[in-house]
Amino acid sequence: MQVRWKLRMAAAQREVWTAAQLRRLLAERAGLSMSSASVSALFAQQPCQVKLSTLAALCTALECTPNELFEVDTTPVPQHDPMSTLSATGGSSALTVPAPVTAVASVRGRPMPPI
């Protein structure tokens, strides 16, 4: 499943060209005060996650729907069948077992979550 972030396009269609303009609209229309860096990050790149309250504020500020802010590709991902791999290679293929994920300490000494 792929998600495509379209905030910049939705904003441009409404004559909002900069993160500063979007930040002003968020404050005026939706009552949401966000830092310049946060709005700039939303404007410049696809976020990993967005709070529902932020999504609602973006929709209010831009007078749009969530469908205009992101697109979800729901094409099913093909399932990998290990048995078909074995039969295609004559059954001689060795299956590899992934190594266990070990946590690496971050700068603050906390373990990082597994990838």
State the number of CA atoms in the 13 A half-sphere of 114 facing the CB: 4
Tokens of 46: 């696809």
pLDDT attached to residue 112: 67
Tens digits of residue pLDDT in 53-82: 999 999 999 999 999 999 888 888 787 766
Q: pTM of this prediction?
A: 0.63
The answer to whether 111 and 103 are in contact (CB under 8 A) is yes
Residue boundaries of the structural domains of the chain? 2-73
pLDDT attached to residue 3: 87
Tens digits of residue pLDDT in 102-114: 555 555 666 666 6
pLDDT attached to residue 93: 52
pLDDT attached to residue 86: 55
CATH fold of 2-73 reads: 434 Repressor (Amino-terminal Domain) (1.10.260)
* H/E segment holding residue 112: none
Q: 105 versus 10: which is more confidently predicted?
A: 10
CA–CA separation, 93 vs 12, rounded Å? Answer: 53
Tens digits of residue pLDDT in 21-30: 999 999 999 9
- Which value, to the nearest 10 degrees, does the dihedral of the CA atoms of residues 37, 42, 44, 48 take? 110
pLDDT attached to residue 100: 58
